[in-house]
């Protein structure tokens, strides 16, 4: 039986030959060609999130990782072949939950039945990410549509385009800056860690033999560190062991992530660094104190991410970009 990922790439490649009559991005891009787009997406996303509550965080991560490598073109959805190792098999992408890919497959299948060869996978992913953020309590923001799917996906392109959990903060700031995002936008986007989880291997260096003078990272709140040590005690034997990014309200999109950073409850080293670095601390403090300010900044930044190096015109790599 074919896997969901295999089915998705077959769909994507099969419909590459369909031209699109309109190359301008707009929120009502499918109003004439697929008027059921919004209602189908709403139903598919709602059903999936209710059945699998971790879907929201997974799709948000899938969307962001896709956009940061060669733009928002759905290339992270393409599966590897015997002659090409695709993006989704890069080490940092291997931990993206299968539920995220499954949602896109379900939505694409439903939309193909109603509007064959019309809706791109990259538009599905961008819309699903927005709908899920809203569904779990986060802000609504507009998603302009009309993206075209890329046909090239190579794992070698991932390195250096996505922040790693052990990267120095200065490197992360430089990475975002190279893509046109300010420090404030970066801090707002990292607020997506208010939902989801991270595997123990991504923060184990903070828990075991941290330094000659401290077994754990002293930046951790002591009781929190104790709990994480117990949780991750056997992580080398079971690599799937993980912890919520936001220990207080893990399933709700809110500003608790920033409040946690102020209390020594930042799970990843890169998270905790935001609360002490002079370049990022003012924004952490702002968003911790004012959820409305966080929501507005996050919505603005996500709109900006959603059109990063997108492809338009005919479906496929190498077309005009905005």
Q: Which DSSP letter does residue 80 get?
A: P
193 has binding-site annotation: yes
Q: Of these residues, 6, 65, 199, 300, which one is catalytic?
A: 65
* Rounded-to-10 torsion of CA 305, 162, 57, 203: -150
Beta carbons of 41 and 133 less than 8 angstroms apart: no
266 has binding-site annotation: no
65 is an active site residue? yes
249 has binding-site annotation: yes
**Cα 100 from Cα 52, distance rounded (Å):** 10
321 SS3 class = strand
285 has binding-site annotation: no
Q: Which DSSP letter does residue 138 get?
A: -
**Cα 258 from Cα 318, distance rounded (Å):** 39
236 has binding-site annotation: no
Which residues have CB under 8 Å from 203's CB, separation 6+?
165, 228, 243, 267, 268, 269
73 has binding-site annotation: yes
Residues in the chain: 322
28 has binding-site annotation: no
Beta carbons of 97 and 240 less than 8 angstroms apart: no
194 has binding-site annotation: yes
Which residues have CB under 8 Å from 81's CB, separation 6+?
none
75 has binding-site annotation: yes
Q: What is the 3-state secondary structure (H, E, C) of 51-71?
A: HCCCHHHHHHHHHHHHHHCCC
The residues annotated as belonging to the active site are 65
List residues forming the annotated binding site: 66, 69, 71, 73, 75, 87, 193-194, 246, 249, 254
List residues forming the annotated binding site for Ca(2+): 66, 69, 71, 73, 75, 87, 194, 246, 249, 254
List residues forming the annotated binding site for heme b: 193
């Amino acid at each position: 039986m074919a896997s969901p990922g295999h089915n998705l790439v077959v769909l994507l490649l099969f419909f590459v030959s369909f031209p699109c009559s309109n190359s301008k991005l707009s929120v009502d891009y499918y109003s004439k060609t697929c008027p059921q787009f919004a209602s189908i997406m709403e139903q598919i996303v709602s059903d999936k999130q209710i059945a699998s509550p971790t879907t929201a965080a997974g799709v948000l991560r899938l969307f962001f990782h896709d956009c940061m490598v060669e733009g928002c073109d759905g290339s992270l959805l393409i599966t590897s072949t015997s002659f090409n190792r695709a993006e989704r098999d890069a080490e940092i992408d291997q931990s993206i939950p299968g539920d995220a890919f499954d949602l896109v497959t379900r939505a694409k299948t439903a939309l193909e039945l109603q509007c064959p060869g019309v809706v791109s996978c990259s538009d599905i992913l961008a819309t699903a990410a927005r709908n899920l953020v809203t569904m779990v309590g986060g802000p609504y923001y507009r998603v302009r549509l009309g993206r075209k799917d890329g046909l090239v996906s190579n794992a070698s392109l991932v390195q250096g385009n996505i922040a790693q959990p052990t990267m120095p903060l200065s490197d992360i700031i430089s990475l975002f800056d190279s893509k046109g995002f300010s420090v404030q936008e970066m801090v707002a986007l990292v607020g997506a860690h208010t939902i989801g989880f991270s595997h123990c291997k991504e923060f184990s260096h903070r828990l075991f033999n941290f330094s000659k003078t401290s077994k754990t990272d002293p930046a951790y709140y002591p009781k929190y560190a104790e709990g994480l040590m117990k949780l991750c005690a056997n992580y080398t034997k079971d690599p799937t062991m993980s912890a919520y990014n936001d220990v207080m309200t893990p399933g709700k999109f809110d500003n608790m992530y920033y409040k946690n950073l102020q209390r020594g409850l930042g799970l990843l080293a890169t998270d905790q660094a935001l609360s002490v670095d002079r370049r990022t601390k003012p924004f952490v403090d702002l968003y911790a104190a004012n959820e409305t300010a966080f929501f507005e900044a996050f919505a603005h930044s996500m709109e900006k991410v959603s059109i990063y190096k997108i492809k338009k015109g005919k479906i496929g790599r190498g077309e005009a970009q905005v």
